[in-house]
Structure 1
Amino acid sequence: MTILAFPRVAHRYLDVDGVRIFYRESIPAEAGPEAPVLLLLHGFPSASHQFRRLIDAIGNHYRVVAPDYPGFGHSEVPLPASAGGTFAYTFDQLADTMEGFVKGLGLDRFVAYLFDFGAPVGFRLATRHPEWFAGLIVQNGNAYEEGLSEGARDFIALRPEQPDAEQTIRDLLTLSGTRFQYETGIGKPELLAPDGWTLDQHFLDQPGRKQPQVDLAFDYHSNVTRYGEWQAWLQQHRPRTLIIWGKDDPFFPEPGAHAYLRDVPEAELHLFETGHFALEEKLPEMVPLIADFVDRTWPMPG
């Protein structure tokens, strides 16, 4: 009988500017302290738990670090500024917190996995600290106008002063809205575990959790205005890039994946017949691509 090696995964907290941030970190027994480092940046409305199977698959070979943003998962939920608190739930603030998190852990070089919200957070970090990025793995993380579906454009156009705009956002924060994000575009429903959307909804339904998501939704347009800046960064730095994309994503359709090749022509592009949460259905196909990419990208030059 063959005994497969699985990683030990530590579940920890780190104080970042007074906010308690939860994170998962694999302890790679095979590679030791010199293991390549991956920083996994999650999406909406999820948290680091969305990467559990990926961490189990690769965490014995790499040091994999997956934090929860403020207001997500097991991280602290500071009272939003919009509700009388002092924490502004904007993408700039998420990036500020993740910048502090990376510095707090002493990470100075990693391959970043950017999914959904992880793209605007990750690209903000990249423009501030290009020296941190050994490579990019982009999975349904958009940075191009053509990568926005009509539905996504309509959603991004919502503003607080518009009638029913906030209710439109809150309708997406329901169980049916969360399940829609997982199920739309899926090829084989029997491969989609219900745990993902169930756990996401558990956190969304906790007291004080929905207002941060409303605030972030109203701030999403700030990402679109910075697409040009991120594209210029890609052109200038030409990072080693792997693009793995569920092409039937209802929010970020296939053209958004191809668009990266304009700025990083050497990028590797792999499309899969699945939806937004592509890892849920296509993990067995994606893991070898991720591992091969990291092995060829690491160690850091010099």
Structure 2
Amino acid sequence: MLPLLHGFPSASHQFRRLIDSLGRHYRLIAPDYPGFGHTRTPEDFTYSFERLADVIEGFTEQLGLARYAMYLFDFGAPVGFRLALSHPERVAGLVVQNGNAYLEGLSDVARDFIALTPGTPGAESTILDLFTLAATRAQYEGGTADPALVAPEGWLLDQYFLDQPGRKQAQLALDYDYESNLDAYPAWQAWLREHRPPTLITWGTGDPFFTEPGARAYLSDVPEAELHLFRTGHFALEDHLPEIAPLTAHFIERTWP
């Protein structure tokens, strides 16, 4: 079993082609977080990474998943590592794709966004600019060697969901909460050192948010991890699926022979 934990500004649909490629041979499940994709959430829901992890933990328990690996991308890393700390016995392995867990993996752009706090002049408008179609498209195409290889349906579908009522407010709350992840980095790293889970790392080196040093930093805590770097951006699956899908399949085979 491989839960696929998506990132921002996306949802489960970002794994559509990976599921098409591997779904006939392995059990893959891609849930939407509250406030993303097709989800509906109560009006009084508090958007934080802790709450997202609570919901996904409940989701895995409803499905009876006692043992699984996790595919961690972007927001999927803070969600997945919270699950790992809560139930380390359930985690059989990690596939990490541009899912940061180290300070050295944060670009200056990422640090500037994380530093924005409620009430700071210009903070809200700066974050809201990230929720426009132009910004969403730039997240897909930025850092790629050939933007023409990135199909438009990914960013168009993301933008459709971002434009639904209440979604920008949800994302704003999560952006303000992102610093909680930095505070948790030492605990995640300690968990990696203690448990040394089988780990596959695939990373787009042109990611404007999470840089290549963040990929290499995993090796300091999990030296046996397998690392593959690609000349692309944040959404590496969009133009490097032919390379990443077989790596993921081989990892699953090695982890659960």
TM-score by length of 1: 0.84
**For the Cα contact (< 8 Å) 1:70–1:78, is it kept in 2?**
no
Instruction: Tell me if 1:141 matches 2:99.
Output: yes
Q: 1:61-102: CA deviations, max 9, x gaps? A: 1111100000100011332xxxxxx21100000000011001
Q: Among 252, 260, 284, which residue is 2:242 paired with?
A: 284
Counterpart code for 1:151: V
Normalized per residue, the structure richer in strand is 1
Instruction: Tell me if 1:44 matches 2:8.
Output: yes
Q: 1:182-237: CA deviations, max 9, x gaps? A: 01011122211000000000000011111000000000000000000000000000
Counterpart code for 1:61: H
- Where do 4+ consecutive residues of structure 1 move more than 6 Å? none
The residue number in structure 1 matching 2:126 is: 168
- For 2:159 and 2:166, the matched residues in 1 are separated by 13
Q: Among 37, 40, 51, which residue is 1:76 paired with?
A: 40
Normalized per residue, the structure richer in helix is 2
- 1:220-231 matches, within 5 Å, as 220-231=178-189
Counterpart code for 1:171: D
User: How many residues of Structure 1 are paired with residues of Structure 2 in the alignment?
Assistant: 257
Gaps of 5+ in 1: 1-36, 80-85
Greater RCO between the two (CA within 8 Å, min separation 6)? Answer: 2
Please tell me whether Structure 1 or Structure 2 has the larger radius of gyration of its CA atoms.
1
Q: Among 25, 33, 47, which residue is 1:61 paired with?
A: 25
**For the Cα contact (< 8 Å) 1:148–1:253, is it kept in 2?**
yes
Identity level (%):
68
* SS of corresponding position for 2:30: strand
The residue number in structure 2 matching 1:112 is: 70
Gaps of 5+ in 2: none
The residue number in structure 2 matching 1:264 is: 222
Q: 1:269-300: CA deviations, max 9, x gaps? A: 0000000000000000111111001000015x
The residue number in structure 2 matching 1:123 is: 81
**For the Cα contact (< 8 Å) 1:71–1:78, is it kept in 2?**
no
Q: Among 50, 58, 65, which residue is 1:92 paired with?
A: 50
The residue number in structure 2 matching 1:155 is: 113
Instruction: Tell me if 1:212 matches 2:170.
Output: yes
- For 2:22 and 2:146, the matched residues in 1 are separated by 24
**For the Cα contact (< 8 Å) 1:170–1:214, is it kept in 2?**
yes
- For 1:138 and 1:208, the matched residues in 2 are separated by 30
- For 1:99 and 1:77, the matched residues in 2 are separated by 16
- Please give the root-mean-square deviation of Cα atoms over the aligned residues, in Å: 0.7
How far has the Cα of 1:131 moved from its partner? 1.1
**For the Cα contact (< 8 Å) 1:241–1:268, is it kept in 2?**
yes
Q: 1:213-269: CA deviations, max 9, x gaps? A: 000000000000000000000000000000000011000010000000000000000
* SS of corresponding position for 1:67: coil
- For 1:260 and 1:78, the matched residues in 2 are separated by 37
TM-score by length of 2: 0.99
